[in-house]
């Protein structure tokens, strides 16, 4: 699959392949830094099918777009609606090795050996009651064109809904595992990273514990990842970093719900042990941190660092405002309407 620089991604390219996910290679940040990428903004067009289809163009998911844009319609945003695309992020607090999955942000990170990049992919994970577990494990098997043998639990749940699953689903376009699967060594091998025949499920909590990926993404990852690759799955809804220039950032995602009816916007967050030290005693910093913990926007927010933090926050807001108004009016063409403005 062709890879593109984040700064070169345009909606015009996405329109040529509207259903393809654009996995992005982020250059690894310098020593002492964990911040990568830049946010983007996009104006919803008349032909956009739904929020998930927009998300796929930017290697994102509907839930991440809803975190970043908490006042938009959750399925079909109106044409003309401006969206912030959260393509700036803080790397998870893990070794930069192999595959890293951060469950609350519904993202998979891959650090190709010998390359100063990280590849970031949207994923689907286990539903409430069938959670994808936190673990450190390895890839134990790579399976092209997998067949699917529905486990007894899935067969029983489907039967309760009036659906009788076959004992074995052959390889092919209708297979729930897609065209590629990688088995994890954890447990009895019941956890897989695999494709799916339901692309809109990527970016949601709908699986029975496996990790789902878009078809192009799993094909790309499968081709690169060798047997035995380290896999770490973490639960880090709150990520934070102090960058080399002194600016401190906090990135807060909604935590994983424990019950179907739980409101993850207000559910308690379990903070890392050293988060209080990172926050410090400055009242203004603590106020900004508390605002970020309450808002849960899903992208990095500058909370300290003097003038640098204030200026970066202002620039982000200004960029988002300019995209749908002045720049589109000045361009006066459909091509300008389609351009993705990079913050």
Question: CATH code at 212?
Answer: 2.40.440.10
Closest CA to 272 of 301, 252, 291: 252
Closest CA to 154 of 186, 123, 176: 176
Give percent of the chain above pLDDT 90. 65
The pLDDT assigned to 127 comes to 92
Residue-averaged pLDDT of the chain = 83
* Residues 229 and 242 placed together within one structural domain of the fold: no
Which alpha helices (DSSP H) does the chain contain, by range? Answer: 11-16, 51-57, 62-68, 152-160, 215-224, 275-279, 283-295, 307-322, 328-331, 334-338
How far CA 178 is from CA of 22, 61, 186, 217, in Å, comes to 18, 19, 21, 11
The active-site residue, picked from 34, 56, 107, 194, is 194
The active-site residue, picked from 103, 210, 225, 340, is 210
How far CA 332 is from CA of 263, 313, 343, in Å, comes to 42, 29, 21
Per residue in 96-149, pLDDT tens? 999 999 999 999 999 999 999 999 999 999 999 999 999 999 999 999 999 988
* Residues 228 and 247 placed together within one structural domain of the fold: no
Say if 51 falls within a structural domain.
Answer: no
* Residues 244 and 300 placed together within one structural domain of the fold: yes
Show which of 204, 234, 264 is a domain's final residue. Answer: 234
* Residues 29 and 127 placed together within one structural domain of the fold: yes
* Residues 173 and 212 placed together within one structural domain of the fold: yes
Residue with tokens 């309450």: 294
Per residue in 204-220, pLDDT tens? 999 989 999 999 999 99
Q: In what order do the strands lie in the sheet with 341-342?
A: 82-85, 40-43, 341-342
pLDDT band at 255 (very low <50, low <70, confident <90, very high): very high
What's the mean pLDDT in 168-175? 85
Given phi > 0 = left and psi -120 to 50 = alpha, else beta, which region is 240? Answer: beta
Say if 148 falls within a structural domain.
Answer: yes
Say if 186 falls within a structural domain.
Answer: yes
Say if 212 falls within a structural domain.
Answer: yes
DSSP 7: G
How far CA 179 is from CA of 146, 205, 212, in Å, comes to 6, 21, 12
The structure's pTM equals 0.83
Say if 273 falls within a structural domain.
Answer: yes
Rg (CA), the chain: 20
Identify whether 253 is a catalytic site residue.
no
Show which of 175, 199, 234 is a domain's final residue. Answer: 234
Spatial separation of the C-alpha atoms in residues 59 and 51, rounded to whole Å: 13
* Residues 129 and 258 placed together within one structural domain of the fold: no
Per residue in 262-307, pLDDT tens? 999 999 999 999 999 999 999 999 999 999 999 999 999 999 985 5
Show which of 289, 304, 319 is a domain's final residue. Answer: 304
The pLDDT assigned to 341 comes to 29
* Residues 246 and 181 placed together within one structural domain of the fold: no
* Residues 156 and 248 placed together within one structural domain of the fold: no
Closest CA to 142 of 199, 218, 63, 53: 218
Say if 190 falls within a structural domain.
Answer: yes
Contact call for residues 327 and 341 (beta carbons, < 8 A): yes
The pLDDT assigned to 9 comes to 30
Q: Work out the end-to-end distance of the chain between its first and last CA atoms, rounded to an integer number of angstroms.
A: 26
pLDDT band at 10 (very low <50, low <70, confident <90, very high): very low
Say if 229 falls within a structural domain.
Answer: yes
* Residues 230 and 116 placed together within one structural domain of the fold: yes
The pLDDT assigned to 6 comes to 33
At a CB cut-off of 8 Å and minimum separation 6, what does 328 contact? Answer: 43, 336, 337
Contact call for residues 205 and 188 (beta carbons, < 8 A): no
What's the mean pLDDT in 35-40? 96
Contact call for residues 180 and 222 (beta carbons, < 8 A): yes
Identify whether 194 is a catalytic site residue.
yes
* Residues 279 and 169 placed together within one structural domain of the fold: no
Residue 268 domain boundaries? 238-304
* Residues 274 and 202 placed together within one structural domain of the fold: no
Residue 320 in this model has a pLDDT that exceeds 80: no
How far CA 200 is from CA of 13, 71, 79, 251, in Å, comes to 20, 21, 20, 25
What's the mean pLDDT in 237-244? 97
Spatial separation of the C-alpha atoms in residues 48 and 309, rounded to whole Å: 35
Per residue in 179-192, pLDDT tens? 999 999 998 889 99
Say if 30 falls within a structural domain.
Answer: yes
How far CA 143 is from CA of 137, 176, 194, 232, 247, in Å, comes to 17, 14, 9, 20, 44
The pLDDT assigned to 174 comes to 84
* Residues 105 and 228 placed together within one structural domain of the fold: yes
Tally the domains of the chain. 2
Closest CA to 107 of 48, 137, 159, 67: 67
């Amino acid at each position: 699959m062709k890879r593109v620089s984040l700064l070169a991604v345009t909606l015009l390219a996405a329109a040529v392949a509207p259903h393809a996910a654009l996995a992005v290679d982020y250059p690894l940040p310098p020593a002492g830094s964990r911040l990568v990428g830049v946010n983007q903004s996009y104006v919803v067009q008349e032909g956009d099918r739904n929020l998930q289809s927009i998300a796929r163009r930017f290697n994102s998911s509907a839930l991440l777009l809803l975190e970043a844009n908490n006042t938009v319609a959750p399925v079909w945003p109106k044409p003309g609606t401006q969206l912030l695309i959260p393509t700036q992020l803080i790397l998870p607090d893990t070794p930069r090795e192999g595959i890293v999955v951060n469950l609350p942000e519904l993202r998979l990170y891959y650090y190709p050996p010998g390359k100063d990049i990280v590849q970031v992919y949207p994923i689907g994970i286990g539903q409430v009651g069938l959670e994808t577990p936190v673990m450190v494990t390895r890839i134990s098997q790579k399976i092209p064109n997998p067949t699917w043998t529905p486990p007894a639990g899935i067969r029983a749940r489907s039967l309760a809904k009036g659906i009788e699953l076959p004992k074995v689903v052959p390889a092919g376009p209708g297979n729930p595992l897609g065209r590629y699967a990688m088995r994890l060594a954890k447990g009895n091998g019941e956890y897989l990273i695999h494709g799916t025949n339901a692309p809109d499920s990527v970016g949601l909590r709908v699986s029975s514990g496996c990790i789902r990926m878009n078809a192009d993404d799993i094909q790309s990852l499968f081709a690169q990842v060798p047997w035995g690759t380290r896999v770490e799955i973490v639960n880090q809804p709150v990520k934070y970093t102090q960058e080399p220039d002194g600016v401190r950032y906090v990135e807060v995602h909604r935590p994983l719900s424990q019950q179907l009816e739980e409101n993850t916007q207000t559910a308690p967050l379990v903070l890392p042990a050293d988060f209080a030290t990172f926050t410090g005693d400055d009242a203004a910093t603590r106020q900004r941190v508390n605002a970020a913990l309450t808002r849960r926007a899903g992208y990095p927010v500058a909370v300290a660092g003097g003038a640098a933090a204030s200026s970066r926050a202002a620039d982000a807001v200004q960029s988002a405002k300019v995209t749908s108004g002045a720049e589109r009016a000045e361009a006066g063409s459909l091509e300008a309407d389609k351009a993705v403005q990079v913050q």
